[in-house]
Structure 1
Amino acid sequence: MKLVELVPGPDTDPAATQRLRDVCERRLGKGVVIARDTPNFIANRIGTFGMLATLEAMTAFGLTVEEADALTGPAMGRPKTATFRMLDLVGLDTLLHVVDNVRERSEDEAERAAFTRPALLQRLVDRGRLGEKSGAGFYRKRKRADGASEIETLDWTTLEYRPKREAASPVIEAAKSAKGTAAKVKALLSADPGHPHAKFAWTSLKRTLLYAAGLVEVIADDIGDIDRAMRWGFNWELGPFELWDAIGAEAAVKRMKAEGDAVPAWVTEWLAAGHAGFYREEGAVRYHFSHGRYKEEEVQPDEIRLDRLKAAGKTVLGNAGASLIDIGDEVVCLEFHSRNNAIGSDILAAIRDGVAEVERNWRGLVLANEGRNFCVGANLMLLLMEAQSGEWDEVEEIIRYFQNSMLRLKRLDRPVVAAPHRMTLGGGVEACLPADRIVFSPETYFGLVETGVGLIPAGGGCKEAAALAAARAGEGGDLQTHLNALFETIAMARTSTSGHEAFRLGLTRPGDAVAVRHDGRIAEAKRAVLELDRAGYEPPSADARIRVAGRDGRAVLDTAVHSMRLGGYISSHDALIAGKLAHVLTGGDVAPGAEVSEAYLLDLECEAFLSLCGEPLTQERMRHMLATGKPLRN
């Protein structure tokens, strides 16, 4: 997790606190908040209260565990683990220790009552159901008679387990359809206000908001540290006060008072003074409530915030999928902002328009964004629809458009640096590989994963992998060894578990690097652009040739695939996919050591991709991924 809470004592030298803060932020890449010396500090105190409030609301409104988790996960801007899956991971007995810590040290009677050990949790702990570490908690995994695994859910009314059920309601569907955390939370509360799901969401949320408001200047100096602690420590998309603004602070307070809730005096006074919420933005500057006034939020010197630049009118051009933003020093950043940052025609069009704009007016280009993930790949739904309809000309046009857009990026006569973060998969990787350098966030899951949906990389990924192998082998060197490693990485759809591990997967170049801080990655990428520009940047030659292993190299890879198939490690369809991949990576039916053009390898990619799209088992994999988010091995 990103969060570090620093807790100075009354006699702590401020210089010592600052020095430690600098070490945590600049050397360890952490996010630091200053907490006061109170029980459980900031994140655990509010987070634990929120879990208790959710548990109480679930029983009060008669919801199932699945329903409560569906409403308190991504629908509320929180991780997929939501509440009860999170409790199972933490350990129910551990949570009770945290609850005790607050109750035994609090001087507030209402707070002590709120932190009473819930009877349901106590009964589960007494039965040894501690969560994942004991094999059962609110969920448990069981083996069926056929050997397959099955997730069961606790029926909290009987303490018995039953098969897990999908939660559904108009409220849940409205939140799923909404884009962005603020819109999702509003949908939860307003889609069907009389529905038990909406009542549950409001009750659990308002109690957490009121509790956090009552702790301002108790657990931290201002709301900024409280919100950051919840974002960085619990992976909330919005902290409590950001959530309050998202649903409308004035309307929320009015409803709370109408329902008889006690609202902290400072909240009422602040809103009565004419303030619409706890945050305010003026251009690129953001302010938040602190000690009765608005305080400008600090931005680290090595941090570039795209949202603030856009608010300040720095957008150069854009469309529904991407924007080109001026980040200073004659450098622009191409930001993806499509759904899940999946690459579709709008992003590809923005890449082409962005390349033309940079060629005319800028020193270089950064590829980065501030989404939850950099890019989860290409628009799989569109490909599946075209393939199922047999529209092969359309599928080929999509592939060619993707390939040509990546080539334009690579041929840009200005330096390009990519700064990926978190999930950077499939087409996301293919968007990074044409860049001159890659600056990874420390937390980057980087991999060409197309085989998981029955395909191979066809946006230039295979071509770039072949070029990487040839570059590492050098002139006349052992190409096969480097090719084998890359083939295995791509065929097995391996993904790095960090920016550093991307180097071990072999998908990087000597000039690539890992940013120390996630928030500093865009600034580091910009510095890399300027360094390349000052050094007299020249783009890669359009006439470059790539040495390939040819038919002999293909035979080596085919032998390995055959052995895996005979050993039962892969299915027949896996073997078919791997054979297509081997054919492309080795340059097809050419002599060993032949030098081929990029266009030739892109033709091989396209041909293999099209043939796999027509396979029923591949289409089945694509449907399964779209429905479940998980790969299917068939």
Structure 2
Amino acid sequence: MIRPIRQAAVLGSGVMGSGIAAHLANAGIDCLLLDLVPERLTAEEEAKGWTLDHPSVRNRRAADAVARLTKTKPAALYDDAFVRRITPGNLEDDFAKLSGVDWIIEVIVERLDAKKALLERVEQVWRPGTVVSSNTSGISVNAMAEGRSAAFRAHFLGTHFFNPPRYMPLLELIPGEATDPRVVNGMRRFCERKLGKSTVVAKDTPNFIANRIGTYGILVTLEAMAEGGFTVEEVDAVTGHAMGRPKSATFRTLDLVGLDTFVHVADNVHANVTDEAEQAAFRTPEPLKAMVAAGQLGEKTGRGFYLKRRTAEGGSEILSLSLKTMDYGPQKKVSSAALEAAKQAKGAAGKIKALLAGGDRYAELAWTLLKKTLLYSAAKIGEIADTVQDVDDAMRWGFNWELGPFEVWDAIGLKRSVERMEAEGETVPAWVKAWLVEGHESFYEQGDEGPRYANAGGFRRVERAPEAISLSRLKAQGRTVLANSGASLIDLGDGVACLEFHSPHNAIGGDILQMINRSVEEVRRGFDGLVIANQGKNFCVGANLMLLLMEAQDEEWDEIDGIIRLFQDTMYRLKRFEKPVVAAPHRMALGGGVEVCLPADRIVASAETYFGLVEFGVGLIPAGGGCKELALRAALGTLPEDDLQPAIQRVFETIGMAKVSTSGHDAIRLGLLRPTDQVAMHPDHLIYDAKQAVLKLAQEGYEPVREERFRVAGRDGGAVLKLGAYLMKESGYISDHDYLIASKLAHVLTGGDVPAGTLVTERHLLDLEREAFLSLCGEPKTQQRMQHMLGTGRPLRN
């Protein structure tokens, strides 16, 4: 039970402090960002005649950090305008303001003495009931709280955000011995719902959960690498996608984190555990010490295990480090039967099993690394976390593993792998052996109410927030209403159905369009509304470009015309449906994926939604209603007596420059989402939020959207757009083919060859879209662009 958190204060404006403040601002929370008062003036401040007492000097550290937030790459803010929610200050003049906030987060240097001294000061201005937390990566929460009052300690805990706070989902909550459980539960609920974080509760032990296991895994990798004579490239080939882990694998990850940071984390465990074997496991290897001493810290210094440099030809190349010679050299391609088998396998579990079965030295390396990590994870249950679920969640959310350690163990066969471990002389934790003796053969099983995990006394149901709807779980429960190869209609309960895409890359083809039409009929008969969502890697990357290119190369113009008509008619029908429709895009929603969303009554987008009409990049324009919808919104968003041209110009630039939002909020700024659309903070709650939006629309007495004529800018407006594009062509900014596409886009957006102010129907613009699209499909340069995108994943400039 905590007070509602509307204002917060972050103490410390370094990379983590400013990043946390930015994410609080993303969540709509006003935030103080305080740091130390500078001890000396900069040359610029001296030139202005300022003194150390000048407010801008005293607030400089925090103010500079706030200013950097709008320049950070990747962006820390969902929208640069959110920076106004952060107020910079200093730890002297503004300290008393802490009594007016609801949450105080300490993010200063990782030294116990400094943290204790600051918390002592905080308590002097602390308002009872205010939550105070430390964003420590491994310092004891109980040690920090020593000497504080009982009331203060009841509201004090660790909140370990992972860097960068906007993008990394994991937040470890670390209660101290005196932390009120109601505060822990309240903060967990708040951080999940308001901040969109995925939380686990960790015990107050060195490095908590994710960093404890992740650091151990990297150290045993370095050990096995030295023993087996593996190169940096070989280790990364094994410990990346082949093991269900990120592409950055081991050494690219270390370069991103910073080798000095990693050594600090490892040293923290080494210094604070008592078991000699564990101390030895966390001893920093000599090559790593040498690299830190030499300033080879990774990306922050430009060199680590990898070095990126310019070539004589003006390009760039990435070299890798040899730990034998400590010199950089060209990377060598790594291939083997085991790695190839893993590449061809489907899903993380399939890849890991294929890798281990490969029978070569890379398979042996993978087994060694997995074996040690699994055994260590099992040995720490009860010490660093209470449950296998907490450990698995922490590794998936904090290190981006596709499967946590115990999920991996199930995937490779618990009983068989334990037998192999013992045959190799390994010590298997007693509780794992007892679990097997009881007749269990996995740590997880599918129960009647969903997945369950191994726990003392038997299986225990995996706990998830009620907002975390799982489509796969619903399908396992028999809630599929309709299905074909591209999509399914699933009963979400409470009279709401969900249309889920599951084609390759969720690309839109005839099967998905067919299922949309069938779903409309089914929802009309038996539901109150429809959600369009899925839980794939991306919402939808667009239409099936390969099919379209094949038809264009074969000059099957009637086929292409039929496909586009079907897409347009399906979207038109969806928009006119008499029951509410809510689209819920996440991550990449591009081209046709956007056009599926635009007809919906509401869009509830995940905060991390990259939304854009990108057809221009493959030599085309949107033809599934995208041009029509944005032109319609431009017309409806202006008064009849207002000039329509500026609004159409913005639409022309958005489509013509293939702009893609950097977040759900940014999609609103670009005009791709409406101000009435919503942004969901937690990706796992997206479908729940969309379902609630459907129910709200239904309860309010939903009325279907009626078609009305709307005005267009006409031939004069089109001429203005074409003139702008012509000037860009003449200046060398765009190619002749770009100009051709831009001219056709201008013709469509302005309603064609009609006078300015003419009232047209939506069907009129749809016909113009289709005609322009078909003509562009016949252009050789457009076909070249499509071919290049399919082959390289990048647009071609021709």
Structure 1 length as normaliser, TM-score? Answer: 0.94
1:557 aligns with 721
**Whole-Å Cα distance in 1 between the matches of residues 333 and 712 of structure 2?**
50
2:310 aligns with 143
Matched, 1:461 2:610: no
The structural deviation recorded for 1:155 is: 4.2
The match for 1:102 among 269, 275, 279 is 269
Q: Helix, strand or coil for the counterpart of 1:327?
A: strand
The structural deviation recorded for 1:196 is: 2.6
Change (3 A) 1:98 1:586: same
1:93 aligns with 260
The structural deviation recorded for 1:358 is: 0.9
2:216 aligns with 49
The structural deviation recorded for 1:277 is: 0.9
Matched, 1:607 2:771: yes
**Whole-Å Cα distance in 2 between the matches of residues 60 and 391 of structure 1?**
60
**Whole-Å Cα distance in 2 between the matches of residues 75 and 350 of structure 1?**
34
The match for 2:693 among 499, 524, 528 is 528
CA contact (8 A) 2:338 2:359 kept: no
Change (3 A) 1:215 1:149: same
The match for 1:618 among 782, 786, 791 is 782
1:279-332: per-residue Cα shift (whole Å, max 9, x none)? 111244221122342111223233322222111111111122221111111110
Amino acid at match of 2:365: F
1:575 aligns with 739
Matches within 5 A, 1:378-457: 378-457=543-622
Q: Helix, strand or coil for the counterpart of 2:664?
A: coil
2:710 aligns with 546
CA contact (8 A) 1:368 1:374 kept: yes
Change (3 A) 1:611 1:186: farther
Amino acid at match of 1:585: L
Matched, 1:590 2:770: no
CA contact (8 A) 1:284 1:310 kept: no
Amino acid at match of 2:782: T
The structural deviation recorded for 1:347 is: 1.9
CA contact (8 A) 1:551 1:586 kept: yes
Q: Helix, strand or coil for the counterpart of 2:637?
A: helix
CA contact (8 A) 1:554 1:582 kept: yes
Matches within 5 A, 1:60-99: 60-99=227-266
CA contact (8 A) 1:4 1:31 kept: yes
2:455 aligns with 290
Which of 293-302 and 157-166 deviates more? 157-166
The structural deviation recorded for 1:100 is: 1.2
Amino acid at match of 2:657: M
2:288 aligns with 121
Change (3 A) 1:252 1:453: farther
**Whole-Å Cα distance in 2 between the matches of residues 98 and 629 of structure 1?**
38
**Whole-Å Cα distance in 1 between the matches of residues 549 and 653 of structure 2?**
26
1:198 aligns with 363
The structural deviation recorded for 1:34 is: 0.6
Amino acid at match of 2:369: S
Q: Helix, strand or coil for the counterpart of 1:630?
A: coil
2:352 aligns with 185
The structural deviation recorded for 1:342 is: 2.1
The match for 2:207 among 36, 40, 50 is 40
Change (3 A) 1:597 1:359: same
1:21 aligns with 188
The match for 2:433 among 257, 265, 268 is 268
**Whole-Å Cα distance in 1 between the matches of residues 782 and 378 of structure 2?**
52
CA contact (8 A) 1:423 1:445 kept: yes
Q: Which structure is richer in relative contact order (CA contacts within 8 A, separation 6 or more)?
A: 1
**Whole-Å Cα distance in 2 between the matches of residues 166 and 487 of structure 1?**
44
- The gaps in structure 2 that reach 5 residues or longer are 1-167
Amino acid at match of 1:86: T
Q: Helix, strand or coil for the counterpart of 2:290?
A: helix
Which of 490-499 and 58-67 deviates more? 58-67
The structural deviation recorded for 1:219 is: 0.6
The match for 2:635 among 445, 464, 470 is 470
Q: Aligned pairs, how many?
A: 631
Amino acid at match of 2:194: R
The structural deviation recorded for 1:6 is: 0.9
CA contact (8 A) 1:439 1:512 kept: yes
CA contact (8 A) 2:295 2:301 kept: yes
Which of 490-499 and 357-366 deviates more? 490-499
Which of 451-460 and 326-335 deviates more? 451-460
1:369-419: per-residue Cα shift (whole Å, max 9, x none)? 122221222222222333344443333333333223322322322110011
- The gaps in structure 1 that reach 5 residues or longer are none
**Whole-Å Cα distance in 2 between the matches of residues 62 and 387 of structure 1?**
52
CA contact (8 A) 1:283 1:309 kept: no
2:46 aligns with none
**Whole-Å Cα distance in 2 between the matches of residues 608 and 431 of structure 1?**
20
Matches within 5 A, 1:111-260: 111-164=278-331, 167-190=334-357, 193-260=358-425
Amino acid at match of 2:725: V
The structural deviation recorded for 1:209 is: 1.7
**Whole-Å Cα distance in 2 between the matches of residues 327 and 437 of structure 1?**
18
1:497 aligns with 662
Which of 322-331 and 142-151 deviates more? 142-151
Amino acid at match of 2:345: A
**Whole-Å Cα distance in 2 between the matches of residues 67 and 461 of structure 1?**
46
Alignment RMSD? 2.3
Matched, 1:318 2:486: no
The structural deviation recorded for 1:469 is: 1.2
**Whole-Å Cα distance in 1 between the matches of residues 190 and 752 of structure 2?**
52
CA contact (8 A) 2:491 2:497 kept: yes
Change (3 A) 1:454 1:119: farther
Which is higher, the Rg of structure 1 or of structure 2? 2
Amino acid at match of 1:97: H
Change (3 A) 1:173 1:469: farther
The structural deviation recorded for 1:37 is: 0.8
The match for 2:526 among 361, 367, 370 is 361
CA contact (8 A) 2:356 2:363 kept: yes
The structural deviation recorded for 1:38 is: 0.9
Amino acid at match of 2:588: M
Which of 239-248 and 52-61 deviates more? 52-61
Q: Helix, strand or coil for the counterpart of 2:401?
A: coil
Matches within 5 A, 1:507-526: 507-526=672-691
Amino acid at match of 1:594: T
The match for 1:8 among 175, 178, 183 is 175
**Whole-Å Cα distance in 2 between the matches of residues 284 and 378 of structure 1?**
37
Change (3 A) 1:602 1:151: farther
Change (3 A) 1:396 1:186: farther
The structural deviation recorded for 1:165 is: 5.3
Amino acid at match of 1:357: E
1:73-115: per-residue Cα shift (whole Å, max 9, x none)? 3333322322222211111221111111111222222222222
CA contact (8 A) 1:284 1:308 kept: no
